[in-house]
Amino acid sequence: MKRIINFSAGPATLPLSVLQQVQAELLDWQGSGMSVMEMSHRDKEFMSIAQDAEKTLREIAHIPANYKVLFLQGGATGQFTYVPMNLLRGRAGVDYVLTGDWGKKAAKEAGKYAKVNIAASSEADKFTHIPDPAGWKLDPDAAYVHITPNETIHGVEFHQEPDTHGVPLVADMSSNILSRPIDVTRYGLIYAGAQKNIGPSGITIVIVREDLIGQALPTTPGIFDYKQMADNESMLNTPPCFAWYVSGLVFKWIKDNGGLQAVGERNARKAALLYDYIDSQSFYRNPVRKEHRSRMNVPFTLANAELDADFLKGAKAAGLSGLKGHRSVGGMRASIYNAMTLEGVQALVDYMKEFARTRG
Ligand SMILES: *Cc1c(COP(=O)(O)O)cnc(C)c1O
């Protein structure tokens, strides 16, 4: 077996030990005589898997008791719609801060249900920074303020929560959830598709403050209604059982590896290794303002775009994959989520150095 070093933006690399555990219990989960894929979600076996996953997540992320944790379907994109459907609470307006394409998409969907105010945007600067919160035009009557703490395509990340003056903060954390310690109490709602930092695609995590739910628009389908889902332990219908199970193993892996503090320190070291190299020379370039650079997604361009194809070809031959940048920005992008090792990032930097030396 030969595993590549996988820099894919998502679905993304998973911890090898988790995959090995999945493999070991694939046919017979802990003496049950069946695969997790074959279990009824109402059986006690799966109930224990589901409850353990939530318990471990609550523990590592220090989620207070007045927050519900939901395991849903429809991806982060589904949440672009479910958030306004559920959180308007009789209000008309919602605030969106745009720091990349995902936030833009979220705002567009919200526009079908609410009056969207773009409180700030860095689009005019090609999403290369976070607009200074002091200049945000927030509406004090907004139902919520929506941000994308890490913009996966542009590689722009909030390194601290903005102050929304009591208006609930909603965050699409798809690409940086569990990448460092987090103060959940600063948020009204956090959502994330699992396939970047948590597990396989097909499951979406929502962490929501209890008092914000229960007032969904009357037309909201039951399975999109946070309150109904919370009351039914995310099992109003059949949940994505297998993805839920793998996510639970990843939560456990985080816990066993020192929790979010240790994970965050490791991620900071990984990101510094790559950015320090990029900043030390002139063949590669990252366009994002230093204090807003992402620790998870590192886009970079080559001095000569005609070398892009050769760069990717050589990378593949060196066992490095998933480096092609998003079609909207071009160049390269290295996604270095929790499961990417420091050695993996070092291998990338070594390859970049060698490519620049021979082709630059
Ligand atoms: C990947 C991603 C999405 C889309 O997630 P889906 O689960 O495919 O809908 C949305 N927001 C951010 C920040 C992402 O990184």
- The full set of domains in the chain, from first to last, is 30-256 (3.40.640.10), 259-359 (3.90.1150.10)
Summarize the confidence of residues 229-244 as an average pLDDT.
Answer: 98
Which pLDDT score is estimated for 53? 98
Predicted confidence band of residue 288 (pLDDT cuts 50, 70, 90):
very high
> Is 302 in contact with 283 (CB distance < 8 Å)?
yes
> Is 285 in contact with 301 (CB distance < 8 Å)?
yes
Instruction: Report which ligand 1 atom has the smallest distance to the Cα of 201.
Output: 7
Task: Reply yes or no: is the peptide bond before residue 240 cis, omega within 30 of 0.
Answer: no
Predicted confidence band of residue 143 (pLDDT cuts 50, 70, 90):
very high
Q: Which residue's alpha carbon is at the smallest distance from atom 1 of ligand 1?
A: 174
55 is annotated as an active-site residue = no
At 30-49, the pLDDT tens digits run 999 999 999 999 999 999 99
| CA–CA separation, 28 and 20 (whole Å) | 14
Which pLDDT score is estimated for 232? 98
* Percent of the chain's residues with pLDDT above 70: 100
Which pLDDT score is estimated for 306? 96
Report DSSP letters for 103-144, one per residue.
HHHHHHHHTTTSEEEEEEE-GGGTT-S---GGG----TT-S-
Please, what is the average pLDDT of the chain?
A: 97
Which pLDDT score is estimated for 1? 81
> Is 293 in contact with 275 (CB distance < 8 Å)?
yes
| CA–CA separation, 131 and 143 (whole Å) | 21
Whether pLDDT at 106 is above 90: yes
Distance of CA 46 to the CA centre of its chain: 25
Cα of 272 vs centre of ligand 1, distance in Å, is 25
Tell me which residue of 198, 84, 56 sits closest to 143, measured CA to CA: 84
Which pLDDT score is estimated for 349? 98
At 317-334, the pLDDT tens digits run 999 999 999 988 899 999
Which pLDDT score is estimated for 360? 83
**Ligand 1 pocket by C-beta < 6 Å: which residues?**
10, 75-77, 102, 148, 152, 172, 174-175, 193, 196
- Residues forming a β-bridge with 293: 156
Tell me which residue of 145, 207, 200 sits closest to 170, measured CA to CA: 145
Summarize the confidence of residues 161-187 as an average pLDDT.
Answer: 97
Which pLDDT score is estimated for 218? 96
Which pLDDT score is estimated for 108? 98
145-147 vs 93-98, strand pairing mode: parallel
Predicted confidence band of residue 266 (pLDDT cuts 50, 70, 90):
very high
Ranges of beta strands (E only) in the chain are 5-6, 67-72, 93-98, 115-121, 145-147, 150-151, 156-157, 169-172, 189-193, 204-209, 284-285, 297-302, 320-321, 332-335
CB-count exposure of residue 52 (10 Å: 0-12, 13-18, 19+): middle
Which pLDDT score is estimated for 328? 85
User: Could you tell me the two tokens for 124?
Assistant: 């005019």
172 is annotated as an active-site residue = yes
